[in-house]
Structure 1
Amino acid sequence: MTTYDDESRTLTEWSRTLAQALQILDLELDHARILELTQRSSHYMSADAAAISAFMVGYAAGSVTTEGRDEASAAVEKATSTVLAVIDKDEQAQEKKGWTGTAQ
């Protein structure tokens, strides 16, 4: 049985491996926030949406000019918050529709 600590340690090691390979040496990840993004995207759309959402957040954050770890983290958080806000808005719109527009 995999424990939370084992999974967290594995994610941390994987993140470090990727950061070194990509030469992003000062990157610190908020694994819980990234997992929230991917889980919500996956649940709302599809499993593939999680990967697309994570990529889009990374791309958006990477396109912002930053100096230092704090600004880079802020760019990731802003992009993540934007994607989650889109999901929230769409979920609320779907709830308001209820049975309207369905074949049921």
Structure 2
Amino acid sequence: MTHNAVDADILNQWTRRLSQALQILDLDVDNHLVLNVADEAAHAVSPMAAPITTFVVGYAAGLAAANSAMASHAAIARAADIVIAVCRQPENEAPDETGWVNTAQ
């Protein structure tokens, strides 16, 4: 998903404002990665899947970072990579057939 510099600035301001409101200190959001994951889910499933998918990625990354020494950025990248791989699988392949169960947090 592409956007211009004005959109990027608006998103950066929003994520800073939101993270401050939620009292999450020093949060560095990779907006491009989040938008890419949302775009993949929207195209693979439906537009409604985008916000649900980004929520699940964030949740999974939070669990991974809390339960291990993995940094939150690495946990987000790992969760995002898994989601993108799932989105790119043919619809007729079930998770167990391609080993997705081994990617659980």
Which residue pairs with 1:54 in the alignment? 54
Maintained 8 Å contact 2:41/2:49: yes
- Quick check: which has more Rg, 1 or 2? 1
Deviations along 1:30-68, one digit per CA (max 9) or x if unpaired, are: 11111110011111111110001000001001112266x
- Secondary structure at the residue paired with 1:89? coil
**Which runs of 4 or more aligned residues in structure 1 lie more than 4 Å from their structure 2 counterparts after TM superposition?**
none
Match runs of 1:1-104 below 5 Å: 4-64=4-64, 65=66, 71-90=71-90
Maintained 8 Å contact 2:44/2:88: no
TM-score (norm 1): 0.77
Letter in 1 for 2:76: V
Distance 1:15 1:6 in 2: 14
Q: Structure 1 residues 31, 91: CA separation in 2 closer, same or farther (over 3 Å shift)?
A: farther
State the Cα distance separating 1:91 from its structure 2 match.
5.9
Unaligned ranges ≥5, structure 1: 94-104
Letter in 2 for 1:87: C
Unaligned ranges ≥5, structure 2: 94-105
TM-score (norm 2): 0.76
CA root-mean-square deviation: 2.0
Distance 2:34 2:24 in 1: 17
Distance 1:81 1:32 in 2: 13
Maintained 8 Å contact 2:41/2:87: yes
